[in-house]
């Protein structure tokens, strides 16, 4: 194969297939060392925008945050923050010397150039994992990664705005809470929710379920992941043995206790044991790393430790076993659905893997977005996350308090959810309500720099961002606040098996919207902008954009925040109005969104 050949030459690359390619591990661990972002109000770069990018890159690789920091893997199987340690060092060195009218270009985790732009332009532009569509296969990507030519950026790993498991926590809570409202008359109280995958993303599930008043039983083949969520208070307890864990979860459900139980087991074994025992969960989903059959998913035949060896010894055989296990996994989910479980896909593409490998009924259950989230996308709602560059938890508590005042609970149902969410993040919510920050204590552990996430819509994100900027300007907050989001948002992604599944007009796979979102955020002056391929569901199945903007207390930052945090969620309105959703059309009218007549 000749990866650099011209597309019209006779030697241009053909899409690689498993049968023709031997994928070998690329050594990313040479020179590995612990990374921790600087704290405080002192600058090591020449602008706060560059400083924030450097700190957030480092924060992604903090051992408290990253799943495998020595390998530069942040989460999601092999979602990396940089291509190599040499590339990481070059990015940091360049950010430290970057002028306020220059922009660093990063291609799949490697800095490749600096261009002269202007002060309102992004300081960093990032493109990760993008391959020309005809060649955009997992096997082709594996080949490029093995050659050291690109990385899998996931969504927020390679865009430097991952904040640990909390980053998906509120979105996961929104999903389970909506499931309770829609399918169980208002709450998950007294309902057994079964799932698997307790890593960087999936680890949010047990706490999200209990916040939604349900009982959770979650499996993971990696015991250390269960222990990590236990230590950070995302998971309440771990019970050894499948039957013992099932019995404990059933007991807790019977007494309507909002408690989460972890079990060290393969998801397939757990689901098949539930079937054997005739126990039907009320809610059933999955967040194993099925998007990546090589590095992410573990076949039922292997323990976690055996899998580590097997995937290196024979990657092709390993992937065949992974895919066969996914068929069993989805088949068990469909059978439990037939017995009465409310089942939904949680965005890891496991249904597609099962369908492609012979299970015709794989899409019997829906994805979580069309089932529970799309109406929120129609009003521009989505994940809004922020990070305190000071490293002081008090700065996050102050922003929590400010948002409770800025968005009064009585105004609408979304504000009610916001209050319940923020207060639920605190062990002592009374202290927060009183502004007694010295006695505030988080319900779950910080990972790296203190951070928070909320779901906000059009007309809310900009207000929140401007409020934070005012707090930095006044000195109420001791250092700038970084505001970003997941790529999983209302108008930033094309992912036919997840965010854009089942679009009203059939436009599921049209990715113009994700490209427009990236361009809009560049034009609006975000501090850094990224465009990725494959995040969440795997190579070939998604394209998506991200933005991060710094609130440093200046008038310039206020102008950028107002533009970015209005235009970014407005892309969700455009997207869903164009697809014909009445809720989006009503929102556009209420918000005076300028949509040319069609």
pTM: 0.88
> What pLDDT score does 15 carry?
46
Q: What is the CATH number of domain 172-365?
A: 3.40.50.10730
> What pLDDT score does 354 carry?
97
Q: Quick one: CA torsion of 315, 318, 322, 325, rounded to 10 degrees?
A: 170
Q: What is the pLDDT of residues 543-564, one digit of tens each?
A: 999 999 999 999 999 999 999 9
Helices (H) and strands (E) in the chain, counts: 20, 17
> What pLDDT score does 358 carry?
96
> What is the spatial distance between Cα 269 and Cα 300, in angstroms, rounded to a whole number?
7
Q: Quick one: CA torsion of 26, 318, 12, 127, rounded to 10 degrees?
A: -50
Q: Are 328 and 298 in contact (CB under 8 A)?
A: no
Architecture of the domain whose range is 66-163+373-383+456-593: 3-Layer(aba) Sandwich (3.40)
> What pLDDT score does 227 carry?
96
Helix axis angle, 315-338 to 304-313, nearest 10°: 140
Q: What is the DSSP letter of 12?
A: P
> What is the spatial distance between Cα 407 and Cα 454, in angstroms, rounded to a whole number?
12
179 is catalytic: no
Question: For the chain, how long is the longest CA-to-CA vector?
Answer: 71
Closest C-alpha among 408, 390, 502 to residue 43: 390
> What is the spatial distance between Cα 62 and Cα 64, in angstroms, rounded to a whole number?
5
Other residues' Cβ atoms within 10 Å of the Cβ of residue 226 = 23
Q: Give the pair of three-digit tokens for residue 527.
A: 């501090």
Q: Give the pair of three-digit tokens for residue 364.
A: 């019997």
Q: What is the pLDDT of residues 128-156, one digit of tens each?
A: 999 999 999 999 999 999 999 999 999 99
Q: Are 123 and 528 in contact (CB under 8 A)?
A: yes
Helix axis angle, 512-524 to 555-578, nearest 10°: 160
Give the long-range contacts of residues 60-65, CB within 8 A, separation 24 or more.
60/156, 60/157, 60/160, 60/162, 60/448, 61/35, 61/88, 62/35, 62/36, 62/37, 62/447, 62/448, 62/449, 63/34, 63/35, 64/164, 64/446, 64/447, 64/448, 65/162, 65/163, 65/164, 65/447, 65/448
Other residues' Cβ atoms within 10 Å of the Cβ of residue 240 = 10
Question: Environment class of residue 121 by beta-carbon count within 10 Å: exposed (0-12), middle (13-18) or buried (19+)?
Answer: buried
Percent composition of the chain: helix, strand, coil (DSSP 3-state, to 5): 40, 15, 45
- Catalytic one of 440, 454, 490, 587: 454
> What pLDDT score does 13 carry?
47
Pairing of strands 73-75, 342-343: unpaired
Q: Are 319 and 294 in contact (CB under 8 A)?
A: yes
pLDDT in tens, the chain (598 residues): 333 333 333 344 444 443 333 444 444 444 568 999 999 999 999 999 999 999 999 999 999 999 999 999 999 889 999 999 999 999 999 999 999 999 999 999 999 999 999 999 999 999 999 999 999 999 999 999 999 999 999 999 999 999 998 888 888 999 999 999 999 999 999 999 999 999 888 999 999 999 999 999 999 999 999 999 999 899 999 999 999 999 999 999 999 999 999 999 999 999 999 999 999 999 999 999 998 899 899 999 999 999 999 999 999 999 999 999 999 999 999 999 999 999 999 989 999 999 999 999 999 999 999 999 999 999 999 999 999 999 999 999 999 999 999 999 988 989 998 998 999 999 999 999 999 999 999 998 899 999 999 999 999 999 999 999 999 999 999 999 999 999 999 999 999 999 999 999 999 999 999 999 999 999 999 999 999 999 989 999 999 999 999 999 999 999 999 999 999 999 999 999 999 999 999 999 999 999 997 5
Q: Where are the domains of the chain?
A: 66-163+373-383+456-593, 172-365, 392-448
> What pLDDT score does 285 carry?
98
- Across 369-406, b (16+ Cβ under 10 Å) vs e yields bbbbbbebbbbbbbbbbbbbbbbbbebbbbbbbbbbee
> What pLDDT score does 445 carry?
84
């Amino acid at each position: 194969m000749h990866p650099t050949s011209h597309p019209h030459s006779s030697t241009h690359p053909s899409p690689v297939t498993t049968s023709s390619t031997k994928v070998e591990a690329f050594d990313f661990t040479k020179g590995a060392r612990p990374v921790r972002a600087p704290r405080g109000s002192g600058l090591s770069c020449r602008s706060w925008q560059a400083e924030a990018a450097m700190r957030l890159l480092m924060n992604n690789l903090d051992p408290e945050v990253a799943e495998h920091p020595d390998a530069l893997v942040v989460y999601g199987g092999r979602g990396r923050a940089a291509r190599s340690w040499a590339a990481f060092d070059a990015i940091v060195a360049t950010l430290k010397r970057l002028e306020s009218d220059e922009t660093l270009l990063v291609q799949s985790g490697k800095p490749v150039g600096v261009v002269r732009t202007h002060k309102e332009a992004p300081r960093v532009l990032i493109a990760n994992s993008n391959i020309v569509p005809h060649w955009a296969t997992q096997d082709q990507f594996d080949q490029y990664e093995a050659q050291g030519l690109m990385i899998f950026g996931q969504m927020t790993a390679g865009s430097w705005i991952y904040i640990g498991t909390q980053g998906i926590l509120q979105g996961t809570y929104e999903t389970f809470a909506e499931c309770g409202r829609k399918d169980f008359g208002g709450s998950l109280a007294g309902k057994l929710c079964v799932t698997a995958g307790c890593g960087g993303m999936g680890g949010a599930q047990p706490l999200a379920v209990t916040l939604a008043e349900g009982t959770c039983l979650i499996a993971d083949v990696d015991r250390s992941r269960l222990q990590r969520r236990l230590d950070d208070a995302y998971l309440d307890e771990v019970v050894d043995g499948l039957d013992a864990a099932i019995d404990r979860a059933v007991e807790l459900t019977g007494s309507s206790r909002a408690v989460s139980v972890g079990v060290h087991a393969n998801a397939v074994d757990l689901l098949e044991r539930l079937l054997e025992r005739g126990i039907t969960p009320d809610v059933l989903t999955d967040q194993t790393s099925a998007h990546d059959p090589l590095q992410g998913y573990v076949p039922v035949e292997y323990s976690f430790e055996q899998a580590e060896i097997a995937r290196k010894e024979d990657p092709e055989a390993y992937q065949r076993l992974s895919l066969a296990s996914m068929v069993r996994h989805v088949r068990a989910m469909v059978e439990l659905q037939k017995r009465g479980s409310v089942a939904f896909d949680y965005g890891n593409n496991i249904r597609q893997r099962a369908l492609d490998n012979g299970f015709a009924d794989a899409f019997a259950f829906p994805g979580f977005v069309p089932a529970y989230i799309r109406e929120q996308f129609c009003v521009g709602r989505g994940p809004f996350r922020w990070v305190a560059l000071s490293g002081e938890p008090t700065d996050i508590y102050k922003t929590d308090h400010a948002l409770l005042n800025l968005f009064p609970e009585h105004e609408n149902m979304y504000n009610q959810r916001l209050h319940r969410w923020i207060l639920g993040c605190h062990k002592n919510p009374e202290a927060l309500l009183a502004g007694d920050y010295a006695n505030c204590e988080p319900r779950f552990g910080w990972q790296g720099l203190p951070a928070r996430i909320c779901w906000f819509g059009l007309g809310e994100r900009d207000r929140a961002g401007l409020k934070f900027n005012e707090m930095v300007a006044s000195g109420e907050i001791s250092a700038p606040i970084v505001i970003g989001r997941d790529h999983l948002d209302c108008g930033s992604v094309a992912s036919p098996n997840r965010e854009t599944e089942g679009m009203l007009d059939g436009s599921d796979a049209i990715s113009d919207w994700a490209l427009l979102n990236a361009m809009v955020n560049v034009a609006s002056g975000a501090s850094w902008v990224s465009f990725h391929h494959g995040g969440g569901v795997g190579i070939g199945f998604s394209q998506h954009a991200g933005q991060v903007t710094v609130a440093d207390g200046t008038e310039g930052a206020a102008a950028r925040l107002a533009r970015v945090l209005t235009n970014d969620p407005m892309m969700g309105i455009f997207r869903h109005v164009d697809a014909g959703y009445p809720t989006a059309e009503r929102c556009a009218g209420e918000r005076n969104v300028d949509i040319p007549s069609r």
